[in-house]
Amino acid sequence: MSEPDKREYFRIDDRLSIEFRYVTPEEFLRLENIIRYNPGHKTDKPYEMYFPGEPAGRTGIEENEVTAYLRVLERKLDLIIDLLLPQKNGVSYKTLFTPVNISGAGIRFNSDMPLNLGERVELRLALPLAPFSKISTLCEVLRAEEIALEDGPIAWDIALKFLVMNDYDRDFLINYVFVKEREALRTGRDNVG
């Protein structure tokens, strides 16, 4: 008889844009409270977003909805720009758009950059769910196994455990996992009949 699965969170397979870099123990301590107390995900309701320069007393439901959705598009474009310009303040991230296996506890993916077992990593990931925020987390490398790919190059099977994440961001990530799981179940059900 097999052992029961002891995982705390549901896992899904997806394809996401991620950025990561090693952090020193000093950087880890500096970033720990910043990440823990500053969510990347602020709200998932477009009408709650506020941007400087908005008129204080808008009238008409249509105008409010259009403005709100334009603001969401603006945030999406900002995220795309962030992903295209990964180096900021002299800090360089390895950026990948790759298949991942993800849950509220960690992430697994293949990388052409090796990571060392037990090292600490800052990871940022973009979830394609409104408001399209980038979640930051501090992680520990649990797996870094070399693998040979079919077309010849070497890659590494990387597994990271989320050590530090804002509670709102973790809830947002867990919600994303459930949304994707429901889509998979619905698609599977639709394909049966």
What are the mean pLDDT values of the chain's consecutive 10-residue runs (193 residues total)?
Answer: 59 92 95 90 41 41 68 66 56 88 95 93 87 86 88 87 95 90 79 51
Report CA 80 to chain centroid distance, whole Å: 13
d(CA 143, CA 148): 16
* 131 Cβ neighbours under 8 A, 6+ residues apart: 41, 42, 43, 44, 46, 49, 72, 75
Q: Count CB-CB contacts under 10 A for residue 10.
A: 14
DSSP state at residue 54: -
d(CA 187, CA 22): 38
Query: Is omega for the bond preceding 131 within 30 degrees of 0, making it cis?
Result: yes
* 31 Cβ neighbours under 8 A, 6+ residues apart: 23, 122, 138, 164
Task: Please name the fold of domain 12-42+91-192.
Answer: Thrombin, subunit H (2.40.10)
**pTM (predicted TM-score):** 0.70
DSSP state at residue 188: H
What is the model's pLDDT at position 154? 82
d(CA 85, CA 95): 10
Ranges of each domain in the chain? 12-42+91-192
